[in-house]
Amino acid sequence: MPQASLHTIGCRLNQAETAVLADQLRTRGYDLVEFGQPADLVVLNTCSVTDTAEADCRHLIRKIRRTSPDAFLAVTGCYAQTGAEALRKLKDIDLIVGAQHKMQLPQYLTALKRRPAPELLHTRTIGRDAFTMEGIGEYQETRANLKVQDGCNFMCSFCIIPFSRGHERSRSMDDILREAEGLVSRGHREVVLTGVNVGRYEFKGRTLADVVRSLEPVGGLDRIRISSIEPTTITDELLELMAGPSKLCPYLHVPLQSGDDNVLKAMNRRYRSREYVQFIEKTVAKIPDLCLGTDLMVGFPGESNEAFAKTRALGADLPFAYFHVFPYSSRAGTAAPKLPGAVSAKTIKTRARELCELSRAKRLHFYHRFVGSAVSVLFEARNTQGLFTGLTGNYIRVGVTSDEDLSNQIRIVRVHGVMDGLALGTAVSGASALRESLTE
Ligand code: SF4
């Protein structure tokens, strides 16, 4: 039995795809081993979101070749699409698979014989048709990602993703349901709907809200979560579902990027700060316990001190539970590098640090709101301090002391305290205690 290992660099969508490729390989008779262990085949799913991500990919490729000199190395993912020519010069690789053929990669592994130069399976354009995927994602984690969409038509001026992943396209509803049922049969109780621009899901007139509705009746599936979603794509229908009795978690990660309208315009974002604020106010009024996260970018060309101050102020004022902070990174082929007003690396670093500190305070504040409450936690694993931790539907990480193995169990927990990044609680045991806790 040939042995294979897989590794992902990058986003949740890449992880979802690697998990499905792993399943496809196992079905084809490969024995999957941990990345870093000796293997006949290594599949690397790459990222090209920043220069650093690409450098990390090249570094890892060289490392894989040093530690596994005889392994067949197949490289796919966003960097394989946008940087195929650069990768081709690396003799360490045997096969480069661009975005068009990514999910069929195992079909091209006819013989695991090292090649004198990388073979290239690459098309400049990427198909726009709806798609299906063979297999069911293999995850060690409690939560499973579920790819529903790919590509983006929005063309934000800083973003390379439309070039690496192509135009928007959606997965057939039947195929989503098939994989979701497969994931549940493997024990997963929560799925995270994932795509590049997930709110743009559209298949034969059906929307993301329809996908959620189609997953609701799946027995054994307790939670449906939506990954990062563009603010202009979130419909009232989706918010109604989230607000109502539903398996859809009260969780939204809605990228803001900047609080300054000139910067938003230069970024080619499809909203201005006022519209964003109105959307958040409407959403939080509908879903009071919502966990709201966002992406903030610092150092975009033209981001003056005043512009940054607006981002900071909006970040502080809106009820975010956390931010992901991204220092702007210039990408060749995008529109932003041609814009005037480059921001120095030192200023970018200072602004990023400031927002990260604010984010930490916001998370603490959000967690504090639930002290004294009973919350439902899907437990994952023990942390290094010996606490069993898991997440609530609204994305609060909760830790409890327990001798019992709580992994993959949903328990009601009374929250009694908060420390940085963790709410501390006590699992409520017994049906009557549970009822009591929930009715309080
Ligand atoms: S919405 Fe903008 S940032 Fe997001 S993937 Fe599309 S182009 Fe990139």
Give the Å distances, CA to CA, from 177 to 69, 136, 171, 206, 300: 41, 11, 10, 14, 40
| Span 43-90, pLDDT tens digits | 999 999 999 999 999 999 999 999 899 999 999 999 999 999 999 999
Q: Where are the beta strands (DSSP E) in 220-280?
A: 223-226, 251-253
Question: Which tokens is 401 given?
Answer: 């002391």
Is residue 342 within 8 Å of residue 313, measured between CB atoms? no
What number is the average pLDDT over the span 405-412? 96
| Span 114-133, pLDDT tens digits | 998 999 999 999 999 999 99
Pocket (CB within 6 angstroms of ligand 1): 152, 154-156, 159, 161-162, 196-197, 230
The per-residue DSSP string of 369-384 comes to TTTT-EEEEEEEEE-T
Pocket residue to mutate for ligand 1, from 159, 165, 267, 294, most atoms within 8 A of Cβ? 159
**159 Cα–ligand 1 center, Å:** 6
Structural domains in the chain plus CATH codes:
3-121 (3.40.50.12160), 127-249 (3.30.750.210), 262-369 (3.30.750.200), 374-439 (2.40.50.140)
Question: Which tokens is 392 given?
Answer: 């609530």
Pocket residue to mutate for ligand 1, from 47, 81, 152, most atoms within 8 A of Cβ? 152
Nearest CA to ligand 1 atom 2: 156
What are the phi and psi torsion angles at 211 (to 5°)? Answer: -60, -45
Pocket residue to mutate for ligand 1, from 78, 150, 196, most atoms within 8 A of Cβ? 196
pLDDT surpassing 50 at residue 432: no
| Span 319-331, pLDDT tens digits | 999 999 999 999 9
Confidence of residue 429 (pLDDT cuts 50, 70, 90): low
**pTM, 2 dp:** 0.95
Which atom, in ligand 1's list, is nearest to the CA of 159? 8
